[in-house]
């Protein structure tokens, strides 16, 4: 008799309509969390934190953690996992995806979108890195405007993390192109989104474990990459396609 109410409650919880309601709520929350205004505010908050007193935590958290705890994995992490979010890998993936979809759709829009994504990375995120001029962790100074591309080179433009931003922006663009211009199922789109999330987490964890970036560099990179991706998606959806 005790088991019967339990079984009935389980049936109610596992009802397809209840699951669909939870799915809709989760999707609504995700849509809100990745909206242009939420991302913009989050970017500003993290940047102010990185520039202000909380940057002391960047200094305290900065260690070459992987070298300390598992040095045997350094080569694999540095040469296999880290390059996944680099231009040498993600740019060909984006280019091939855009070209294939452009040929199938007989439209230049996927290629134009891919070009806009690269422009956003170099002109948008790249400009922020040069403007804020934050030294890399090897210089032991997490303050802004203490580095610089001309003075120090690549070690003087740490914020935001380029790899973290690329992971979200470039692979997110690939997922968006396939979802919008390819004939794929909802399940495939969901898997693509999980793939982007996995690559993004991998990029941040790898850079942090190797001690290559301050923690806020990575958080800022993920958020700023997401902001530019959302901005480009909005533009692509609002600009009408001449073919249609």
- 161-209: per-residue pLDDT in tens? 999 999 999 999 999 999 999 988 889 999 999 999 999 999 999 999 9
> Mean pLDDT in the chain?
88
Would the pLDDT of 21 be above 70?
A: no
How far apart, in whole angstroms, are the C-alpha atoms of residue 160 and residue 226? 12
The pLDDT of residue 12 is 39
Cα–Cα nearest to 207, from 165, 153, 144, 147? 165
- Give the tens place of pLDDT for each residue, 89-104: 999 999 999 999 999 9
Would the pLDDT of 20 be above 80?
A: no
Cα–Cα nearest to 221, from 239, 199, 238, 241? 199
- Give the tens place of pLDDT for each residue, 44-81: 999 999 999 988 999 999 999 999 999 999 999 999 99
Task: Give me the residue spans of the domains in the chain.
Answer: 32-238
The pLDDT of residue 154 is 86
Instruction: List all residues 6 or more positions away from 114 whose beta carbon is below 8 Å from its beta carbon.
Output: 94, 95, 97, 98, 173, 177
Report helix, strand and coil shares of the chain as percent, to nearest 5: 80, 0, 20
């Amino acid at each position: 008799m005790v088991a019967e109410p339990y079984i009935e409650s389980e049936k109610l919880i596992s009802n397809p309509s209840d699951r669909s309601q939870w799915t809709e709520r989760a999707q609504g929350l995700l849509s809100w969390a990745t909206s242009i205004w939420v991302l913009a505010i989050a970017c500003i908050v993290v940047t102010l934190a990185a520039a202000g007193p909380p940057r002391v935590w960047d200094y305290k958290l900065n260690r070459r953690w992987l070298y300390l705890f598992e040095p045997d994995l350094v080569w694999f992490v540095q040469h296999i996992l880290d390059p996944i979010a680099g231009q040498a890998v993600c740019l060909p993936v984006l280019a091939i995806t855009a070209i294939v979809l452009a040929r199938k759709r007989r439209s230049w829009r996927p290629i134009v979108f891919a070009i806009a994504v690269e422009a956003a990375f170099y002109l948008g995120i790249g400009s922020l890195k040069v403007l804020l001029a934050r030294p890399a962790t090897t210089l032991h100074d997490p303050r802004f405007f203490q580095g610089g591309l001309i003075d120090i080179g690549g070690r003087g433009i740490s914020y935001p993390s380029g790899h973290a931003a690329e992971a979200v922006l470039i692979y997110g663009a690939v997922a968006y192109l396939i979802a919008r211009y390819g004939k794929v199922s909802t399940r495939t789109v969901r898997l693509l989104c999980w793939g982007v999330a996995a690559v993004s987490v991998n990029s941040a964890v790898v850079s942090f474990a190797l001690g290559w970036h301050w923690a806020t560099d990575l958080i800022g990179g993920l958020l700023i990459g997401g902001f530019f991706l959302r901005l480009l998606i909005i533009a692509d959806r609002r600009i009408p396609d001449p073919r249609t």
